[in-house]
């Protein structure tokens, strides 16, 4: 008779410790059932990884799922559920023939949940419902947190396989949980459809004990040495025999008999890990020695074939129980604690299963990326000497499950403050995509309304993302033209007014808090402007704000055309994929559904189950964080493809405002054209944001990489994939914040400038005059104001050029120089100042920034005041010949702009920054040109 089949005669069921799609369709599998009497199967992440990663039978399904927008977690769920259903259906005749006593297939809850009772319960319920087969068993590890989950799930009628059992004491808790659950069920009806096994792991015990014995043997001699030698390869079997003795006692008393009378099945002991790890032992050792009634042996295929060939079927579990006790006593007398070993094995077992899951998801992530070729963002970091440190940090993220904790809103990933309240951006694309009706209706309303221009009035996160979308994707023929006004500069206001028709323009007023100064005063101004078009001005206005803000109340009172709500759980700089970015996109004819589908694809690439080493958001964030933290490379230089050139401005805010605080941070540099290798210090990271087909600076970047500078490339195939850039960078910045050790979602230093500005504007309202201060130096028609340390430096300067030279020379190695210009953000001004910044970089070999005020206050201003004290600042202000009055107030926009500049400058001084403000007393154009000329001379 078949030796495997003979095990039936001793009351033992054979389950197979293997499963794959190809195997389930094979004649070999069917023969195991019909000829060997196979009665069950088990699966785990390691089994699935071998099946999925080492063959092609899953590839078509993975390709379909990937192209349907699914991430690795969803793909694995779909694949595993399908396989488990196939296996349970194949074994259903066994289940029916044994009246529900056998024929089970086990699937494991995520090993990442081993220490989380509630999450284990939730996932087990979900698997039970989705697979929907009565002969399913859900595996829950026998950790202390697993016990209440096991009891609860069994009491709900869900079959449970308790895994990772090593100690008899823990088994007692498991058996009690089963009996308690049966008693709960007995009050609700029949018990003949609930089943459970308690999986005792065997060979791993001997591996661990034998190592401890070898250490003891090396120190022993004589009879003691012989006694210890005799214990090798014996302890795991002895432990199992005592567990079986406990089982027989538990499932024989009056308590059990009452449950048995109601149709209950015993909770059988299942022997797991029964392949022989030590090649010196017989290959069927843990099958031969553990044969007994009401038990299961889950056997790997190789071991099963070996037992069929030369196994020894006989009732062995009841033999030598006294000797088993004596063996464990001798082990204890040798000073080796089996309890300590089994406790360690549980922890190691959880870690091993988690590592297997990591490998499984990594395999799936690699295949998913391959099948999405061209559809998903590609990240290619070249980090040189920093790669080893980055790899080590990524490994730590993997070990500590930080990405899963991030997605679970665990604020301990960061500083333990209120970070959990600001993670609405993680799933906003999915939520917005689920209900596009309002945006579709709005887009139709804009078309039907005949609007030719869209003017967006907002600051920072309320405008920068929308501007990127507009400049990158809008502009189709017949669609309105987008104008973004994020300034109080009078010249810039006049430029917008000249560019639009009052009666054909829709104004989007965008403010998360509803209290931001700039959009509120701009709204009042353009309400009057729109009224000159002859219609109902309020019907040309749309509000985008968080629910319940003061601005929402105003918009309702005035009768705005539409009011759209943002998500209070999303900070402004993370809001591009919410209504703050989508409403302007819809208004200008952008395909919002397509944009969101790209964002969701990126979110799936960064999902909690996507291993950090295969996760673009984690890879990028860890790289940036480690380079700044460990290598002092905190100047992030963006090199953008022409077709996504505006992305750098959005990234400036995202990085600076998120990371620049408590003396730490990443200093983003947008628009600084690449130079020769020798003009750069060793504080740089170069990030290439590339669209396939654009003619970019690849040769220069290759030279920088060859010179040892880190170069990180992010590549997309078309401009709609910019939504993937949005999400990947949001994830990266959240991760970098964790690596650096800050809260990436607050902005403590932005408020300081607002407070000081408010003080100055209140003063102006009171006396009707612009704020003024005594210059520290007046020369060549310019008024100069310096920080406390800088006053003495420029005191003796005889010219503007000399004063600027003295200030510029305050910048040293590792510093950056920021030009902060409170003038119109025009192409002419930008070209002039860009030329100046490049001269600064090339002569001083420092990183350079260019910001237009007050726009930069809501962007990079946080890092300038709260980040590392490595900035040297030149603030430029001036008088406006053609100022614009504020509605119903004494102030003008020009006065507000000067107040904002002075307020920010005052805070820079308070924070000990090296700062100089130059006020142009001539007209802006000639004054700016003269300043640029003087600065150029100062650098020669």
269, 244 in Cβ contact below 8 A? yes
Cα 135 to Cα 152: distance, rounded to the nearest angstrom: 19
Helices and strands: H and E segment counts in the chain: 39, 24
- Residue length of the chain: 940
DSSP 453-499: EEEEE--GGGTHHHHHHHHHH---TTSPEEEEE----HHHHHHHHHH
Contact call for residues 235 and 243 (beta carbons, < 8 A) = no
Tokens of 940: 């020669």
Phi, psi of 355 (to 5 degrees): -65, -35
HEC assignment per residue over 397-466:
HHHCCHHHHHHCCCHHHCCCCCHHHHCHHHCHHHHHHCCCHHHHHHHHHHHHCCCCEEEEECCHHHCHHH
- Which position has the token pair 């004290």? 869
Neighbours of 443 (CB within 10 A): 21
Annotated catalytic residue, options 39, 139, 367, 865:
139
Three-class SS of residue 92? Answer: helix
H or E stretch including 147? Answer: helix 146-155
Query: Helix or strand or coil: residue 221?
Result: coil
Q: Residue 92 class from Cβ within 10 Å (0-12 exposed, 13-18 middle, 19+ buried)?
A: middle
Instruction: For residues 211 and 208, give the distance between their C-alpha atoms in angstroms, rounded to a whole number.
Output: 5
Q: State the residue for tokens 């002092």.
A: 632
- Nearest of 579, 587, 575, 585 to residue 563 by alpha carbon: 579
Phi, psi values for residue 165, rounded to 5°: -95, 130
Count Cβ neighbours within 10 Å for each residue of 32-62 and write b for 16 or more, e otherwise.
bbeebbbbbbbbbbbbbbbbbeeeeebeeeb
Contact 512, 462 (CB under 8 A): yes
Tokens of 394: 């990524």
127 near 82, Cβ under 8 Å? no
* 664 phi/psi in degrees, rounded to 5: -120, 170
Report the alpha-carbon distance of residue 735 to residue 259 in Å, rounded. Answer: 53
702 is catalytic: no
- The widest CA-to-CA distance across the chain, in whole angstroms, is 109
Which pairing describes strands 268-272 and 295-299: parallel, antiparallel, or unpaired? parallel
DSSP string, 871-913: EEEEEEEE--TT--BPTTSS-BHHHHHHHHHHHHHHHHHHTT-
Catalytic positions, written as ranges: 139
């Amino acid at each position: 008779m078949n030796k495997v089949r003979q095990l039936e005669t001793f009351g033992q069921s054979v389950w197979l410790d293997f499963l794959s799609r190809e195997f389930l369709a094979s004649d070999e599998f069917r023969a195991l059932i019909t000829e060997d009497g196979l009665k069950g199967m088990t699966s785990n992440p390691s089994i699935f990884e071998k099946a999925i990663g080492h063959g092609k039978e899953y590839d078509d399904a993975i390709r379909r799922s990937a192209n349907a927008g699914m991430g690795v977690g969803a793909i694995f769920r779909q694949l595993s559920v399908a396989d488990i259903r196939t296996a349970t259906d194949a074994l259903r005749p066994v289940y029916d023939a044994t009246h529900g006593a056998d024929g089970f297939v086990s699937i494991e809850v995520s090993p990442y949940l081993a220490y989380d009772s509630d999450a284990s319960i939730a996932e087990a319920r979900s698997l039970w419902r989705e697979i929907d087969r009565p002969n399913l068993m859900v595996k829950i590890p026998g950790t202390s947190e697993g016990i209440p989950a096991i009891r609860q799930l069994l009491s709900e009628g869900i079959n449970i396989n308790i895994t990772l059992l090593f100690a008899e004491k823990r088994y007692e808790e498991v058996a009690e949980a089963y009996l308690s659950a049966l008693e709960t069920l007995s009050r609700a009806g029949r018990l003949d459809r609930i089943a459970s096994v308690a999986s005792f792991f065997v060979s791993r015990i001997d591996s661990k004990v034998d190592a401890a014995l070898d250490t003891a043997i090396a120190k022993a001699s004589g009879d003691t040495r012989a006694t210890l030698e005799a214990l090798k390869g014996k302890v795991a079997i002895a432990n199992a025999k005592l567990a079986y003795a406990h089982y027989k006692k538990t499932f024989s008393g009056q308590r059990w008999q009452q449950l048995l009378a109601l149709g209950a099945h015993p909770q059988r002991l299942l022997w797991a890990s029964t392949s022989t790890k030590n090649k010196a032992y017989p290959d069927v050792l843990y099958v031969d020695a553990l044969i007994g009634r009401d038990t299961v042996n889950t056997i790997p295929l190789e071991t099963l074939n070996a037992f069929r060939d030369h196994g020894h079927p006989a009732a062995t579990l009841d033999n030598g129980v006294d000797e088993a006790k004596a063996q464990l006593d001798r082990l204890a007398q040798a000073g080796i604690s089996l309890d300590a070993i089994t406790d360690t094995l549980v922890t190691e077992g959880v870690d091993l299963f988690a590592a297997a899951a990591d490998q499984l998801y990594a395999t799936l992530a690699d295949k998913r990326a391959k099948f999405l070729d061209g559809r998903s963002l590609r990240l290619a970091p070249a980090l040189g000497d920093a790669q080893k440190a980055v790899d080590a940090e990524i490994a730590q993220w993997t070990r500590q499950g930080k990405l899963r904790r991030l997605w679970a809103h665990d604020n301990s990933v960061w500083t333990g403050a209120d970070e959990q309240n600001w993670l609405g951006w993680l799933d906003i694309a999915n939520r917005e995509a689920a209900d596009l009706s309002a945006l579709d209706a709005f887009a139709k309303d804009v078309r039907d309304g005949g609007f030719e221009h869209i003017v967006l009035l907002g600051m920072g996160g309320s405008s920068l993302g929308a501007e990127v979308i507009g400049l990158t994707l809008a502009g189709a023929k017949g669609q309105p033209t987008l104008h973004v006004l994020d300034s109080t500069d009078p010249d810039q206001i006049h430029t917008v007014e000249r560019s639009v028709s009052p009666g054909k323009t829709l104004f989007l007023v965008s403010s998360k808090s509803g209290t931001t100064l700039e959009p509120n005063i701009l709204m009042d101004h353009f309400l009057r402007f729109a009224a000159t078009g002859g219609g109902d001005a309020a019907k040309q206005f749309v509000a985008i704000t968080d629910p319940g803000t003061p601005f929402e109340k105003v918009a309702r009172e005035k009768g705005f055309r539409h009011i759209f709500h943002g998500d209070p759980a999303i900070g402004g700089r993370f809001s591009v994929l919410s209504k703050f970015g989508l409403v302007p996109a819809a208004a200008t004819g952008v395909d919002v559904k397509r944009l969101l589908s790209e964002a969701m694809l990126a979110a799936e690439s960064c999902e909690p189950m996507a291993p950090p080493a295969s996760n673009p958001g984690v890879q990028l964030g860890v790289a940036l964080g480690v380079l700044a933290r460990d290598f002092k490379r905190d100047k992030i230089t963006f090199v953008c493809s022409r077709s996504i050139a505006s992305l750098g401005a959005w990234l400036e805010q995202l990085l600076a405002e998120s990371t620049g605080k408590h003396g730490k941070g990443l200093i983003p540099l947008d628009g600084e054209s690449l130079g020769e290798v020798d003009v750069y210090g060793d504080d740089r990271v170069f990030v290439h944001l590339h669209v396939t087909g654009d003619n970019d600076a690849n040769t220069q970047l290759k030279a920088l990489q060859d010179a040892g500078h880190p170069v990180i490339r992010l590549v997309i195939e078309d401009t709609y994939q910019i939504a993937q850039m949005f999400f990947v960078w949001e994830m990266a910045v959240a991760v970098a914040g964790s690596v650096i050790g800050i809260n990436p979602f607050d902005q403590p230093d932005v408020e300081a400038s607002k407070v000081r500005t408010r003080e100055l504007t209140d003063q102006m309202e009171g006396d009707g005059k612009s704020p003024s201060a005594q210059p520290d130096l007046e020369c060549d028609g310019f008024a100069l104001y310096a920080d406390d340390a800088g006053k003495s430096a420029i005191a003796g300067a005889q010219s503007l050029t000399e004063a600027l030279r003295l200030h510029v020379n305050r910048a040293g190695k590792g510093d950056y120089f920021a030009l902060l210009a409170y003038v119109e953000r025009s192409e002419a001004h930008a070209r002039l100042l860009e030329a100046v910044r490049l001269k600064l970089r090339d002569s001083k070999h420092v990183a350079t920034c260019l910001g237009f005020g007050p726009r930069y206050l809501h962007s990079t201003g946080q890092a300038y005041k709260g980040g590392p004290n490595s900035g040297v600042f030149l603030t430029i202000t001036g008088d406006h010949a053609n100022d614009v009055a504020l509605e119903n107030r004494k102030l003008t926009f020009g006065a507000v702009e000067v107040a904002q500049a002075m307020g920010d400058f005052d805070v820079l001084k308070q924070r000990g920054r090296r700062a100089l403000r130059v006020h142009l007393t001539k007209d802006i154009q000639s004054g700016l040109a003269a300043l640029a000329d003087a600065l150029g001379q100062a650098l020669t």
